[in-house]
A and B are shown apart, each in its own frame.
Chain A
Amino acid sequence: MNEPALALRGVSKSFDKPVITNLDLTIEPGQLYALLGPNGAGKTTTLRMVVGLSEPDRGRIGIYGIDTRRDPLAAKAITAWLPDEPMLYDKLSPSEYLGFVAGLWKIPPEEAAPEAERLLRWLELWDVRDTRCEGFSRGMKQKVALAGALIHKPRLLILDEPLTGLDATMARSVKDALRAQVDAGATVIVTTHILEVAERLADRIGIIAGGTLHAEGTLDELRAMAGEENATLEDTFIRLTSPA
């Protein structure tokens, strides 16, 4: 039996007030899953717990069957995290950054170097591979960070607002990159405020509000839940997240 790419069971997290409450979420492998929700709904908190940047107060998180609390390193080895603010070093060039990330993920140099070249060419960063990132635009930095996230060929790729601040061309290339990952067998989870992206790109959509999963399914299933067959995702989202 296939293990889910991500399984959250009864996950709760509080800061000064409860942010996530008893969250159950299952994401099957090989999907592009969009996690939507109003501001402060707990999307980023959920994902930060998944990648190990924060500990849940209660509950279990499994990545491809690996319990993130029991074996965090094994879970991290197959996961990549791309936040909205790229985790970069301004004084390093893209090739040096990829070298560093490959070192952290212990990818043998003979595997990492050709993969880095492929990613840099694919993301149109090859000509600036030895230029320091400090002068790059936000979109270019986001692409370098994406290359860093992909260098170790993660089975689960998690992106928080990956299209924020990108122009149309950059946004298209990032969307293509995500779809290519899914086509290659990986699972991709994105949070986004741009509902059109989720509508066009996502295989399944989860809507979080007030720290719990309000609705989950394909776009058609969500429309059915909202009771409007031909509604846009925006209408569906507003209907499902508005207080009754």
Chain B
Amino acid sequence: MMTRIIERLPAGSLGWLVAHELRLATRGGKATTRVRIVRYILLAAFLIAGILTAVALANVPIRPDATFDAGLLVAAIAATSLMTTQAMIGTQQTLYERGDLDLLFSSPVAPRTILRAKLLAIAATVMLTFGALSLPFVLPIAIVGHPRLLGFVATLIGLALIAACIGLALALAIAKAAGPRAARTVGQIAAGLLGGGFFILSQAIGRHSNESGFEAVFRWVQASGWADSWWGLLPGRASFGDPLAILILLGGGILLFALTGAAFQRLFQSGFHDAGKHMTRRTVSKKGIGRQFRASLFTSIFMKEWRLLIRDPALAFRIVLRLVYLIPLTIVLTKNNDVPIAPGAAFFSVLVTGQLVGSFTWLAISAEDSPDLLTVAPVEKSTVEWVKLASALAMAAPLALILPIVIATETVAGALVTLVMTAIAGTLAGFIELKLSKPASRKTFARRRSGSLAAGILTMLVTFVFGGIAGVLVFVLL
């Protein structure tokens, strides 16, 4: 379909380029028949759930009020922060993975048109992601009995455009400020921080109350009076079809898009040129070369995995961020039930270490940069895999010791139990990755579960079970 649209548009025009971008974006990797069937089943279930919800709400009056406005404002802030993160990552991918930028910039198409096409493509990707999650519910509800909710589509487009512009501006500004050498790493860390920002903020706000993070932010927004301000009302009103709110939100998005295209053209081009420079600090160590050569296979592989991890700060940061996301699970388990700290700490220790070992094992085995080198080496494949699993355990070990030391101040036996459970869960998590995950690139770490959903679910299950056992045993031992 997209090819037919491209054929009808003037070659080299903005529309033509956007259609080209969308054609590329919609041509994902080949999926197996089984994966496709699972996808169709999930999609059908999602659509049916949306239709059933729409039927159930058909005669229920849905009107904007103060609570709704505050809720929608919080949801809009959360969604915009995630959309902006996605747009930042999209901009970085456009710049650093280059793709077709070399071709486009060497063609007689105006750089401003190229930037606008890329920006629109990023906005469309953001919109499709959030639309896929929300529209199967919102559209049936709107069609069945609440047509004013069609305004949600305009809200989504407006927010996606605004987020794409902010994301692009942030990514380019960071690239400029950090310089060509550090631009990529700083940009990735900033995107990670922004993505987790709402979540971390919500946890910080809710840390002294019994509410969830979202509830705490909701109360906070209500108390602040933001939801009553004209701009705070915009997402809610636009979603309920208020023409003025739609005009402001959508018009603002379009205006921002036009301004961004004009204002950031130069920065985009300089970012593109800088991205082409592979700047590496040239160093020569005064220590002899002999220090690089080890007698054991384990040390050789461990050192390689360790170096690859610590030399990729963005990846290390993502791993830490994933662990931060696990904090609420522990808070929920301890905050509401007067549970002492030690059992919660035991649970968290096992959970985090298991996930950490799973991540390290995935990086070492699935995301191996040179699998052919290991295949042609005179070492059994199983030996390499077990050594890599041991390396992953060794890398996680220092972190796995922190909470047991805290627990030891209350119960030494409990600390030992936690260590044993941590070791078992970590080994099992690594083993699951070893057996189930598929080869992938390190840069796909954030999406690694798409490689093997089963590995992700099993790892979570194992760490939960052994974390629970550790928590209960420590509770009994106290």
Contacts and interface: CB of A to CB of B under 8 A. Distances in A.
A77 B379 CA distance: 9
A93 B471 CA distance: 44
Interface string A152-170: 0000000000000000000
A225 to B, nearest CB: 34
A103 to B, nearest CB: 2
B434 to A, nearest CB: 19
A244 interface: no
B15 to A, nearest CB: 37
A113 B290 contact: yes
A171 B289 CA distance: 27
A28 B290 CA distance: 36
Interface in B289-307: 289-290, 292-297, 299-301, 303-304, 307
B278 interface: yes
B380 A92 contact: no
Nearest to B288: A113
A90 B308 CA distance: 9
A100 B284 contact: no
Interface string A51-76: 11100000000000000000001101
A181 interface: no
B38 interface: no
Nearest to A111: B293
A109 interface: yes
B363 to A, nearest CB: 12
Contacts of B294: 99, 103, 109
Contacts of B1: none
A135 B289 CA distance: 21
A99 B295 contact: no
Nearest to B277: A135
Contacts of B312: 91
B409 interface: no
B379 A73 contact: yes
A129 B289 contact: yes
A180 B294 CA distance: 28
Contacts of A105: 377-378
A109 B296 CA distance: 10
A95 B292 contact: yes
B382 interface: no
Point out which of B278, B280, B311, B369 has the most chain A C-beta atoms below 10 A from its C-beta: B280
Nearest to B442: A91
A1 interface: no
B300 A104 contact: yes
A127 interface: yes
A30 B85 CA distance: 58
A131 B290 contact: no
A175 interface: no
Contact of A131 (B282, B293, B372): B282
A238 interface: no
Interface string A116-131: 1100100000011111
A76 B290 contact: no
Contacts of B281: 131
B282 A128 contact: yes
Interface in B370-384: 370, 372-380
B379 A51 contact: no
B307 A96 contact: yes
B285 interface: yes
B283 interface: yes
A80 B279 CA distance: 31
Main secondary structure of the interface of B (DSSP, over half): loop
A104 B379 CA distance: 7
A27 interface: no
> Which of B283, B289, B299, B301 has the most chain A CB atoms closer than 10 A to its own CB?
B289
Contacts of B304: 89, 92, 96, 100
Interface string B454-476: 00000000000000000000000
A101 B293 CA distance: 9
B300 A99 contact: yes
B278 A76 contact: no
Contacts of B293: 98-99, 102-103, 107, 109, 112-113, 116
B244 to A, nearest CB: 52
B307 A104 contact: no
A88 interface: yes
Interface in B399-428: none
Contacts of A90: 369
A52 B284 contact: no
Contacts of A52: 375-376
Interface in B9-65: none
A76 B289 contact: no
Given A91-B312, A95-B289, A76 B295 contact: no
A89 B312 CA distance: 12
Which among B301, B378, B380 has the greatest number of chain A C-beta atoms within 10 A?
B378
A83 interface: yes
Given A91-B311, A98-B293, 19 more contacts: A51-B376, A73-B379, A77-B378, A99-B303, A100-B303, A101-B377, A102-B293, A103-B294, A103-B301, A104-B374, A105-B377, A109-B294, A116-B293, A120-B289, A128-B282, A128-B284, A131-B281, A132-B311, A135-B278
Closest 5 CB pairs of A and B: A103-B300, A135-B280, A99-B292, A109-B293, A104-B377
Interface of B: 278-285, 288-290, 292-297, 299-301, 303-304, 307-308, 311-312, 369-370, 372-380
28 contacts: A52-B375, A73-B379, A74-B378, A79-B376, A81-B376, A83-B372, A90-B369, A91-B308, A91-B311, A91-B312, A92-B307, A96-B292, A100-B304, A103-B297, A103-B299, A104-B377, A105-B377, A105-B378, A113-B292, A113-B293, A116-B289, A127-B284, A129-B284, A131-B280, A131-B282, A131-B283, A131-B284, A134-B280
